[in-house]
Amino acid sequence: MNAYTVLSVFGFVSLWGYSWWVIWYSIFLGFWALLYVLALVWMRRLWFREANGGSVAILPEALPTVSVVIVARNESANLPALFEDLAQQQYPVEQLEVWLIDDYSEDHTAALVCQYQELMPYTLHYRLLQGEATLSPKKRGIAQAVSQAAGEWIACTDGDCRVPPAWLSTMLSIGQSRQAHFVSGGVAFILERPLFRRLQALEFATLVGVGAIGVMGGFPQMCNGANLSFRRQSFESVDGYTGWQHIASGDDEFLMHKMAKAYPKGICFAQHPAAVVQTYAQATWHSFFQQRKRWASKWPHYQNPVPKILAFFIFIGHAMAVLALILSVMQQYPWKLLIGIWGLKCLAEFWWLMPILRFLRLQPLAGYIPLLQIIYPFYVSLFGFVAGKGKYQWKGRAWQ
């Protein structure tokens, strides 16, 4: 295979005859794609290196006491399933307690919890969120529960989640065996029929994979509050959420950042399917948009510049791809080259994502990767512009 054949495969021969700016633009876009693919290769290697490094849950002889904390608002339709899941945990019930902090729900959450307090084998505590109105009720709710909890470990999940029977035993055995202070776990969207929800599940699996690799690589930046655990003593030693109460979101990542600063080697990811928590994708475009704006609102507050640099790298490459597509439609850019770069990126994404999808038990989503790769540049470009700007709606409230 000669150089001409290689260039033809990826469409670079089609640059002949175009102006110099198109050539340089294509070189830059191609170089970006190459760096992107190399990053995916490195991430996949790190994923398998950690998988072979012993991330298997082996219960220690003495299981620690654990307090499960759920801060919920208007989740009465979902809480019964979660309470039942917690009743099925493969964990000594005498060493387990559950705290439900009610963020001023407008449904019948209080009556529901009162009913389940009599039915569950574990101790189920109910508290109304204390204090005046706050910009971050979930942070305050977790801190309130931790201050009263009896567990050596705190495990957090959300009111709309489902947890597998070995969730606690797996998360805590990994934390104990690795002498960790903070354990991040996988979260997967429940597979549903609508295409919109399946694409959300696939995109979210990518975020989970990237967050896991960051923890494995020693630079923890992303995690999800639907599945995390930490030592109560470690939470108290870093003074909880002090310094971050003015930001509505980030109860998960900002705490992990504080823990990582205090305990650089004390953060780990539970790379075990038995620790994966499930939740639901957003039902409408509006709720999806508001959720992603909420997530993006914390990015400008990251103290480490590396995530911002990486976010800009991802944004600029996808924004350039969108512009190249527009120029191709206007016959100002070689469409063969654009398809070649898209094909290379698509293959690399498939290769990188498959082990993540297997881990999350979402293999049926693999066939949607090409479609997501068509949509993703527009998605990244849109949220790159709106991140951290304006208000968003969540749980019936408006946040800045």
Q: What is the pLDDT of residues 323-343, one digit of tens each?
A: 999 988 888 888 888 888 888
Of the candidates 196, 186, 191, 161, the residue with the CA atom closest to the CA atom of residue 68: 161
Report pLDDT for 395.
Answer: 76
Confidence of residue 9 (pLDDT cuts 50, 70, 90): very low
Calpha distance 213→291 (Å, rounded):
23
Calpha distance 141→134 (Å, rounded):
10
10 has pLDDT over 70: no
- Between helices 369-386 and 305-329, what is the axis angle to 10°? 110
Helix/strand/coil for 247: coil
Report pLDDT for 61.
Answer: 57
| Mean pLDDT, rounded, of the chain | 89
Higher per-residue confidence, 375 vs 15: 375
Helix/strand/coil for 101: strand
Confidence of residue 390 (pLDDT cuts 50, 70, 90): low
Calpha distance 16→12 (Å, rounded):
8
364 has pLDDT over 90: yes
134 has pLDDT over 90: no
Q: How far is CA 378 from the centre of its chain?
A: 20
**What 8-state DSSP symbol labels residue 66?**
E
354 has pLDDT over 90: yes
Compute CA distances 25 → 28, 269, 355, whole Å.
5, 39, 33
Compute CA distances 145 → 14, 43, 82, 224, 331, whole Å.
62, 36, 18, 19, 60
Please give the average per-residue pLDDT across 159-183, as a whole number: 96
Of the candidates 49, 52, 98, 103, the residue with the CA atom closest to the CA atom of residue 76: 103
Helix (H) or strand (E) holding 37: helix 20-51
Confidence of residue 178 (pLDDT cuts 50, 70, 90): very high
Please enumerate, as own/partner, the contacts of 207-213 that have beta carbons within 8 Å and a separation of 24 or more. 208/356, 208/360, 209/43, 209/47, 209/352, 209/353, 209/356, 210/43, 211/184, 211/269, 212/47, 212/184, 212/186, 212/269, 212/271, 212/356, 213/43, 213/46, 213/47
pTM for the model stands at 0.91
Report pLDDT for 269.
Answer: 97
Tally helices (H) and strands (E) across the chain: 13, 11
51 has pLDDT over 90: no
1 has pLDDT over 50: no
Report pLDDT for 59.
Answer: 53
Confidence of residue 288 (pLDDT cuts 50, 70, 90): very high
Please give the average per-residue pLDDT across 32-56, as a whole number: 83
- Between helices 285-296 and 369-386, what is the axis angle to 10°? 60
Calpha distance 167→98 (Å, rounded):
14
The answer for residues whose C-beta is within 8 angstroms of residue 306's C-beta and 6 or more apart is: 219, 221
